[in-house]
């Protein structure tokens, strides 16, 4: 009889963490307006733990193991609702919409009618508005299990005219962690009763060394994009689609984020803050396209982002201002990055960009998967 050694038993114990049957939920406090906020915990059998709250259907914590099995929270955020409601919150981890990114001068025309939205990022509209954008409202949540994995489905109905957008919009955001891998899949669904623009993303700020580490410039990034949408001085696309080759935006092969960023210090974007047009999926039968991959040598952590969206906004945390976050940690300038899968900015005013208008007989349906792993040592050379 073969007897497992102690080492094998220990390895097994580390690799297969026991997962409870259901995701758990707890009270996360109240908003200033007195609404209760719930926090759900989703856990994979491989060590990933995601905590998501009902305010803004927001990803609050994301713990993943490093090369030695040590877990760290790799996203920025706060320990309480007050942090998320403070001026310091720059959309940390939230569901962003109804339309993420910028709409030029907060204006668009749809079916012959002019719409005016809040100008909250002079002179433009940013991330869905001011008081009732999707990141600031409290959503309903239902936890569930599927194939042994944990999920939570958030739902919110945004009434006609909320933040200036037309149509009653019913939105769902589904976070799911399968049992057998360190993956978090975020899926979005929406239905409307009047034509309206919709462009949803998640705005997590990542640092694979652990949130609160001083810099993210030592991370290596690859973006699966040969082109991007250049912008004007107010970060609105000019309408052109240009090649990244021979520019600091060429991440078609893995590059250290800090290698060329100084060249963008004086640009309107003050660092990386660009919409990359993803290369078309080679294999049309595949559900997802690769958007980006990120790695951090010291911790050994890797992240692959797979998506059904046509683009990704790479934002290098240029406006982080040393705010104090979770566990008293400081979030320094460029100490985390956002990799926001989405449709192009200002699509509602750009006829040649992929469509973002949802009509009453259609369903908005999209999905992005965050796949965490560990860097593999280079394969030994064979003789």
Q: Is 346 near ligand GAL (CB under 6 A)?
A: no
Q: How far apart are CA 370 and CA 272, in angstroms?
A: 21
Catalytic-residue membership of 242: no
Catalytic residue among 63, 125, 340, 343: 340
Cβ closest to ligand GAL, residue 60 vs residue 338? 338
Cβ contacts of residue 286 below 8 Å, gap of 6+? none
Query: Shortest gap between Cβ of 221 and ligand GAL (angstroms)?
Result: 16
- DSSP secondary-structure letter at 237? B
Among 44, 58, 90, 174, binds ligand GAL (CB under 6 A): 90
Query: Shortest gap between Cβ of 126 and ligand GAL (angstroms)?
Result: 6
Catalytic-residue membership of 26: no
Q: How many C-beta atoms surround the C-beta of residue 289 within 10 A?
A: 19
Q: Is 264 near ligand GAL (CB under 6 A)?
A: no
Cβ closest to ligand GAL, residue 49 vs residue 126? 126
At 228, phi and psi to the nearest 5? -145, 170
Q: Is 340 near ligand GAL (CB under 6 A)?
A: yes
Q: Is 86 near ligand GAL (CB under 6 A)?
A: no
Query: Shortest gap between Cβ of 127 and ligand GAL (angstroms)?
Result: 7
Query: Shortest gap between Cβ of 374 and ligand GAL (angstroms)?
Result: 28
Catalytic residue among 203, 219, 296, 343: 203
**124 alpha carbon, distance to own chain's centre:** 22
Q: Determine the residue with CB nearest ligand GAL.
A: 90
Cβ closest to ligand GAL, residue 58 vs residue 90? 90
**Residue 243 CB-density burial (10 A; 0-12 exposed, 13-18 middle, 19+ buried):** exposed
Q: Is 91 near ligand GAL (CB under 6 A)?
A: yes
At 10, phi and psi to the nearest 5? -65, -45
Q: How many C-beta atoms surround the C-beta of residue 308 within 10 A?
A: 17
**Residue 318 CB-density burial (10 A; 0-12 exposed, 13-18 middle, 19+ buried):** middle
Q: Is 228 near ligand GAL (CB under 6 A)?
A: no
Give the residue among 134, 53, 48, 62 at the shortest CA–CA distance from 97.
Answer: 134
Span interacting with ligand GAL, options 53-61, 208-216, 313-321, 323-331, rule CB under 6 A = 313-321
Q: Please check whether residue 132 is in contact with residue 162, taking contact to mean a CB–CB distance below 8 angstroms.
A: yes
Query: Shortest gap between Cβ of 378 and ligand GAL (angstroms)?
Result: 35
Partners of 367 in beta bridges: 187
Active site residues: 203, 340
Q: List residues near ligand GAL by CB under 6 A.
A: 90-91, 126, 273, 313, 315, 319, 338, 340
């Amino acid at each position: 009889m073969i007897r497992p050694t102690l080492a094998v038993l220990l390895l097994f114990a580390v690799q297969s963490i026991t997962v409870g049957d259901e995701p758990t939920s707890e009270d996360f406090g109240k908003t200033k307006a007195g609404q209760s906020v719930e926090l759900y915990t989703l856990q994979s059998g491989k060590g990933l733990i995601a905590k998501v709250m009902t305010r803004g259907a927001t990803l609050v914590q994301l713990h993943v193991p490093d090369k030695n099995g040590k877990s760290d929270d790799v996203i920025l955020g706060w320990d309480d609702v007050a942090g998320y409601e403070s001026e310091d919150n720059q959309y940390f981890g939230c569901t962003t919409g109804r339309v993420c990114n910028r709409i030029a001068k907060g204006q668009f025309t749809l079916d012959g009618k002019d719409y005016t939205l809040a100008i909250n990022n002079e002179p433009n509209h940013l991330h869905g508005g001011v008081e009732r954008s999707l990141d600031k409202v409290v959503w309903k949540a239902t936890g569930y299990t599927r194939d042994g994995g944990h999920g939570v489905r958030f739902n919110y109905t945004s009434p006609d005219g909320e933040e200036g957008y037309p149509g009653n919009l019913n939105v769902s955001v589904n976070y799911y962690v399968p049992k057998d891998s360190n993956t978090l899949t975020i899926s979005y669904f929406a239905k409307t009763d009047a034509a309206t623009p919709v462009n949803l993303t998640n705005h997590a700020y990542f640092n694979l060394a652990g949130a609160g580490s001083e810099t993210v410039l030592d991370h290596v990034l690859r973006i699966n994009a040969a082109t991007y949408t250049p912008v004007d001085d107010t970060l609105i696309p000019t309408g052109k689609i240009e090649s990244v080759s021979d520019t600091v935006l060429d991440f078609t092969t893995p590059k250290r984020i800090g290698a060329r960023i100084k060249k963008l210090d004086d640009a309107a974007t003050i660092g990386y803050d660009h919409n990359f047009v993803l290369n078309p999926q080679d294999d049309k039968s595949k559900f997802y396209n690769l958007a980006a991959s990120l790695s951090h040598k010291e911790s050994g952590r890797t992240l692959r982002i797979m998506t059904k969206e046509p683009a990704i906004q790479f934002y290098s945390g240029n406006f982080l201002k040393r705010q104090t976050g979770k566990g008293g940690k400081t979030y320094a300038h460029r100490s985390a990055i956002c990799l926001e899968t989405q449709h192009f900015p200002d699509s509602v005013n750009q006829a040649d960009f992929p469509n973002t208008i949802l009509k009453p007989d259609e369903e908005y349906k999209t999905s992005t998967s965050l796949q965490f792993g560990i860097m593999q040592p280079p394969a030994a050379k064979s003789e």
